[in-house]
Amino acid sequence: MILTVNTTPFTDQKPGTSGLRKKVKVFQQPRYAENFIQSVFDSLDGFAGQTLVLGGDGRFLNREVIQVALRMAAANGFGRVLVGQGGILSTPAASNVIRQYGAFGGLVLSASHNPGGPDEDFGIKYNIANGGPAPEAVTEAIYANTLQIASYKTIEAPDVDLDTVGTTDLAGMTVQVIDPVADYAALMETLFDFAAIRDLLASGFVMQFDAMSAVTGPYATEIFERRLGAPAGTVRNGVPLPDFGHHHPDPNLVHARDLYDALMAPDGPDFGAASDGDGDRNLIIGKHCYVTPSDSLAVLAANAHLAPGYARGLAGIARSMPTSGAADRVAAALGIPLFETPTGWKFFGNLLDASLATICGEESAGTGSDHVREKDGIWAVLLWLNVLAARRQPVATIMAEHWARYGRNYYARHDYEAIETARADALMARLRGSLEALPGTQTAAGTVSMADDFSYTDPTDGSISARQGVRILFADGSRIVFRLSGTGTEGATLRVYLERYEPADGDLGQETAAALAPLIAAAEELAQIVAHTGMAEPSVIT
């Protein structure tokens, strides 16, 4: 029954920040997906007879690769595969299914917020038994296997029906097609006060959720409209489409512009939110009030006790290094530790497993908690709704009260996209070379007090991740961070993170761009961005 198919390596299958992401055309090469999946299986030990979770965000190629993975899982000796109906599982839902069913691991088919369709992106990532992204040791082993692979195992069998919930046999392996939403929605009901949110939504409070024609549509419709009683139409773009309706399923102010405009309109809704391709990112906008991801983390941490799942308080808060220090002030006030990790959700896994942190967040629109081991878009929206239901104040008031207590971290990220890699590397190399001499330097934003290249030592296993981004601190607590993106597919992307702290008794009502103007000038002085990139302006400001 088992076929061993000879193959030769592809040299470009190195997993990035979040799995292997390539153009669909690359994945459509014969043996390309097979090579990678076999390389994943070959990096694992002891999965014979065990359970694998399988699903994706519904993008172009999702169903085909699921069939390939099912046949290969059977040939490689898995005992059971749990696959989401229609091939659908959001990233956080997959993380939950892995944990809840004690699976060995899972394959999630997604390229996150990258566009989908025949000329766009596809991706495969592997998650381990705790439900989280494979740590670096695993992804390095996978990569090493991709460079040596000589054959893969599969079986000859017709496609499995993915559309009917139920159990079938595939060459001795059980394939269980599961409702992708039910377990996840049940988990959410254990964390949040659904009755209070239902009352809020019945009281004239209007929300809008944009699923961006991506995976959260079915989750959002079930949870917000069916279980919480929001009117039909609350969820927009709620049907997952293979090409996301030709949009970027990226919940930011550029790609979720319609939602933003609706919330800024004079008679707009009270609350707007969106999520990305695979459902792990979130965008939060109140009436006339955009909430930055860094502020969202801080506000959610400060108010989490209002939700039943967090009523006992938080063990700690974790944020990625470029994320603003707003959450640090909340942690200090709560008397709990704050962990600063490199960019990438995988660095939170150990902290969550060790119960050192309860809530985590990143400036890149990710927030989550110890309920799963991925960031979770719908979870963030529900926690916001729970806070709003408990406090019965507009988002803008909640933000104003937060800043009045903790001060405000004005924050922006400037991205310079598709730079020639050599030029981006030269900029970073020059900055790194200047670090020692920088303290004491005068700039448009004042005197540099400290400069380094961030290095992280994991407190649970002592592993060290060096060269995670250049940090430049100023005497008044302001900060500029420079790093290169680890997720781009074209050239290099320079990210410049700008942050200025204004104390609680300071000027809390400034325009962000104006508040950050001296830092923007200092960033140019220090890094010579224009000269290095040839770009006068950032491609995107978030």
* Interatomic CA distance for residues 300 and 207, integer angstroms: 18
539 makes contact with ligand G6P (CB under 6 A)? no
Choosing from 38, 96, 112, 303, the residue that interacts with Zn ion (CB under 5 A) is 112
User: Which option in ligand G6P, Zn ion, none does residue 386 bind, with CB closer than 5 to 8 A by kind?
Assistant: none
Residue of 18, 39, 112, 324 marked active site = 112
Compare residues 278 and 370 and give the one whose CB is closer to Zn ion: 278
The two three-digit tokens of residue 45, written as one number: 């030990």
Antiparallel, parallel or unpaired: β 540-541 and 479-484: unpaired
379 makes contact with ligand G6P (CB under 6 A)? no
* Interatomic CA distance for residues 217 and 235, integer angstroms: 7
57 makes contact with Zn ion (CB under 5 A)? no
Closest contact distance (angstroms) between CB of 413 and ligand G6P is 9
112 makes contact with ligand G6P (CB under 6 A)? yes
Compare residues 489 and 510 and give the one whose CB is closer to ligand G6P: 489
- DSSP alpha helix (H) spans, 101-146: 136-146
DSSP state string for 470-527: EEEEETTS-EEEEEE-SS-SSSEEEEEEEEEEE-TTS-----HHHHHHHHHHHHHHHH
User: Which option in Zn ion, ligand G6P, none does residue 495 bind, with CB closer than 5 to 8 A by kind?
Assistant: ligand G6P
Instruction: Tell me, letter by letter, the H, E, C secondary structure of 63-106.
Output: HHHHHHHHHHHHHHCCCEEEEEEEEECCHHHHHHHHHHCCCCEE
* Interatomic CA distance for residues 223 and 341, integer angstroms: 32
The site that binds ligand G6P (CB under 6 A) totals a number of residues, namely 14
User: Which option in Zn ion, ligand G6P, none does residue 222 bind, with CB closer than 5 to 8 A by kind?
Assistant: none
Q: Which stretch binds Zn ion (CB under 5 A): 112-120, 355-363, 407-415, 469-477?
A: 112-120
User: Which option in Zn ion, ligand G6P, none does residue 79 bind, with CB closer than 5 to 8 A by kind?
Assistant: none
Which residue number has the CB closest to ligand G6P?
485
363 makes contact with Zn ion (CB under 5 A)? no
**Total H helices, total E strands in the chain:** 17, 27
* Interatomic CA distance for residues 260 and 144, integer angstroms: 44
Closest contact distance (angstroms) between CB of 409 and ligand G6P is 18
User: Which option in ligand G6P, Zn ion, none does residue 367 bind, with CB closer than 5 to 8 A by kind?
Assistant: none
Smallest Cα–Cα separation from 33: which of 59, 7, 53? 7
Q: Which stretch binds Zn ion (CB under 5 A): 76-84, 200-208, 280-288, 325-333?
A: 280-288
Active site residue 275: no
Dihedral Cα 309, 345, 532, 499, nearest 10 deg: 20
Closest contact distance (angstroms) between CB of 19 and Zn ion is 10
> Do the Cβ atoms of 443 and 389 come closer than 8 Å?
no
Considering only residues 328 through 367, tell me which ones interact with ligand G6P, judged by CB under 6 A.
343-345, 362, 364, 366
Q: Catalytic amino acids? A: 112
Q: Which residues bind ligand G6P (CB under 6 A)?
A: 17-18, 112, 320, 343-345, 362, 364, 366, 485-487, 495
